[in-house]
Amino acid sequence: MSTNFFRIIDMKIIIWHTLYKIMDIGIEKLIESPNLRDRVYDILKKSILFQEIPPGEKIDEEAIAKQLGVSRTPIRETLCRLENEGIVKIVPRRGAFVVKHSREKITEILMVREALEGFAARLAVDHINGQTLDQMKSLLKDFTESNIRDRSKEYVQADLEFHNLIIKASENNLLFNIMNTLNDHVQMLRLQTAALEGRPEQSLVEHFNIIEALEKKDPSSAESLMREHIRKVRESALNNFKED
């Protein structure tokens, strides 16, 4: 028989061996690549930040694994990463829970945010251009005091992008990196304050006032208005804080 015949037989044996290996290991094990782990991390983190899993709630590893079609290994790896970031708490023999910030922690987060974003607004005055200002206006243009409460999830996203544009416009890389670290905690609080009576409507007005100060190239006013804006967020969050 020809050499090609035996090569074909050898190739078939390799293919069948691979198929049996897949069946033996399980397809979910083979697809748990670094890319998959990153996707699991992104999905679970967003579920927490956007409160699909509320603060204080236990995270059901088994249910999430089934929903995503993976084993529990990448789920546990993700939970360890999120614990290091301070948004998940793993309790031995009890499981993992979404962190619920204390009154003291909320105060700390928003005081730091006030200082950093106020400074970012001041710096942004020297660098912000018409295109960025137009983007900021565009984010807010469809919201009014009469519809903003019914579109709270959209407004939360617009609010996030609005603040990120100002931070980027500061053109200070260290400030940008520090805010990236803080922003996960800010996002968890952002959703809570967006649901408070009167706060979204007031926030919308404050945003337009900040844009006006940036357009006028007034650094003191831009910083002052941003600090006042975040100070009111802190006051609302603390006034409506509920102890367990």
- Predicted confidence at residue 208, as pLDDT, reads 97
Which residue stretches of the chain are H helix? 3-25, 27-30, 34-49, 61-68, 72-84, 103-124, 130-140, 152-169, 173-194, 199-215, 219-239
Q: Give SS3 for 200.
A: helix
| Residues 139 and 211 occupy one common structural domain | yes
- Predicted confidence at residue 6, as pLDDT, reads 42
Reported as half-sphere exposure (CB side, CA atoms, 13 A), residue 175 has a value of: 23
Burial 181-190 (b: 16+ CB within 10 A, else e): ebbebbbbbb
| Residues 223 and 120 occupy one common structural domain | yes
Full domain range(s) for residue 194: 103-239
CATH number at residue 87: 1.10.10.10
Closest CA to 169 of 209, 123, 135: 123
- Predicted confidence at residue 244, as pLDDT, reads 61
**152 lies in some domain:** yes
Contact 61, 75 (CB under 8 A): yes
- Predicted confidence at residue 51, as pLDDT, reads 84
- The residues, any chain, with a CB within 8 Å of residue 227's CB and separated by 6 or more, are 114, 115, 117, 118
Please give the chain's pLDDT, 244 residues, in tens: 545 444 444 444 443 444 344 334 343 443 445 688 888 999 999 899 888 898 899 999 999 999 888 999 999 999 999 999 999 999 999 999 999 989 999 999 999 999 999 999 999 999 999 999 999 999 999 999 889 988 888 998 999 999 999 999 999 999 999 998 899 889 888 877 766 777 889 999 999 999 999 999 999 999 999 999 999 999 988 988 776 6
What is d(CA 215, CA 223) in angstroms, rounded to the nearest whole number? 13
Q: Evaluate if pTM is beyond 0.85.
A: no
Structure tokens given for 44: 């679970």
| Residues 79 and 135 occupy one common structural domain | no
Following DSSP, what letter does each residue of 170-181 receive, concatenated? TT-HHHHHHHHH
| Residues 80 and 171 occupy one common structural domain | no
| Residues 44 and 157 occupy one common structural domain | no
| Residues 44 and 144 occupy one common structural domain | no
- Predicted confidence at residue 240, as pLDDT, reads 80
| Residues 226 and 164 occupy one common structural domain | yes
Last residue of a domain, one of 46, 77, 98: 98
Last residue of a domain, one of 74, 98, 122: 98
Last residue of a domain, one of 41, 69, 98: 98
Q: How many CB atoms lie within 10 A of CB 85?
A: 13
- Predicted confidence at residue 37, as pLDDT, reads 86
95 pairs with which residues across the strands? 91
